[in-house]
Each structure stands twice: as structure tokens, then as C-alpha cells.
A and B are shown apart, each in its own frame.
Chain A
Amino acid sequence: MVTDIRMPPTGTDEGVRAANELRSRAPSTGVVVLSQFVEPGYALALLEHGSEGRAYLLKERVSDIEQLRHAIDEVARGGSVIDSKVVEVLVEARTRSHESPLRFLTPREHEVLAGMAQGRNNAGIADALGLSERAVEKHINSVFAKLALSEEPDSHRRVKAVLLYLSDQS
């Protein structure tokens, strides 16, 4: 199967879904995904049941039918081909999360920070997590300290903390 990722009906992950369906329906069938964009989430979803017989190529980087032919031959015999640009993006994402200051936060501190990213005030976060507002404030102060946010007005630190959280999510 040579497939794009985004297709009707939803234009999201149809190709990956079809490939994963094939794992049970037709286990010896290889799949070459030809994608318009590097989409690490979809690459991971494609490979989460193993990389055997799976290829992920970027359309813009296939400049010769031989490259596609090679990928088809490879997956037909159970091998895999992943475009090096995709590998680069996946490794970079992993490295970033390993170096992220968020790795020092406790699970509870993550929850509080997520609450801040959702635009909740402290009362709202307390309510959502079943904590007292005082406890939420303590967690927030700990988050600020761990993220090394300097002595600025609280509102600035809050925004910076949320920005750090959101950039880590991507």
C-alpha cells in the first residue's frame, strides 16, 4: 500500500489508520506513507506497532521514482525506510523534552501548570484539582522556582510558565 496520510473523510490520519488496520488484516503487506509534511505524531502512530514493513517518506524529498521503488521493495520484504528529516525531527523532539526544565516538576505541579495554561485562575485550579487555594499557590510558587523564573510581577511569571509548558507540548 502506497498512501498519503490526510484523506477524506476527516483529512487527518486516514493513511496511518489504514496502515494500522493492515497489521491485523494483512500482516505481510508493507505500507509506504507518502506525506506532504513532517508530522511527528503521525510518524509515531505509524510506527507504534513496529516499524517492520513500514516506510515514511516526504513527498517533497522524493525526486526520483527509484526512491519510491526502493521503499516499496523494502517494505514488501519487511524492511523499513524513514526519511532522515523525519528521524531528525523525532530525535530533536525527544532531546528537547529530555532537556526541558519541566522535567523537574512533580505530577501535581504539572497539573497545576496545565490548569494555568487553560486560563484558570487559582480558585479555578483549586476547584478542578480538589485542592485548597493555599495549596495551589504553594505549587505555583514551586513551579516558578523550578522554572527559574525571576522576581517579576506574578502575572509575567504566570505567562512565562504557561509559554514554557505550551512549547513543551508541541
Chain B
Amino acid sequence: MTIRVILAEDNYLVREGLARLLQTQDGIELVATCGDLDELLSTV
């Protein structure tokens, strides 16, 4: 069963790094990345 993940992180380097790491994971689907609270709450 695939786990769908939203990533919220305002630091560009950390966000991109984490996104790529998560994308290497089987069973994890990175659905969206967000950089602030408003973006996060509207994405959820």
C-alpha cells in the first residue's frame, strides 16, 4: 500500500533534498511540496 506524502519545508535546499530522497522510496508517493503554512493547509 502506497503512503501519500505532503512535504512542508521552507528551506529550498532541504526541501529539494528531502523530496528527492523521498522519491527514491518504494511505497511512498510524494504528492506535493509546500513552503509555507497557507500552501500546506490548502493542499491538505
Contacts and interface: CB of A to CB of B under 8 A. Distances in A.
Interface residues of A, number: 25
Contacts of B14: 4, 59
Given A1-B7, A3-B7, A34-B18, 7 more contacts: A2-B22, A8-B37, A14-B37, A15-B8, A34-B9, A65-B24, A68-B22
B16 interface: no
A139 to B, nearest CB: 44
Contacts of B3: 72-73, 76
Contacts of A68: 18, 21-22
Contacts of B5: 1-2, 72
B24 A7 contact: no
Consensus secondary structure, chain A interface: helix
A18 interface: yes
20 contacts: A2-B9, A2-B18, A3-B9, A4-B9, A4-B10, A8-B36, A9-B38, A14-B8, A14-B40, A15-B8, A18-B40, A22-B44, A29-B44, A34-B18, A65-B24, A65-B25, A69-B25, A72-B5, A72-B28, A76-B3
A98 interface: no
Contacts of B11: 4
Interface of A: 1-4, 6-9, 14-15, 17-18, 21-22, 25-26, 29, 34, 59, 65, 68-69, 72-73, 76
A3 B21 contact: no
Contacts of A21: 41, 44
B9 to A, nearest CB: 5
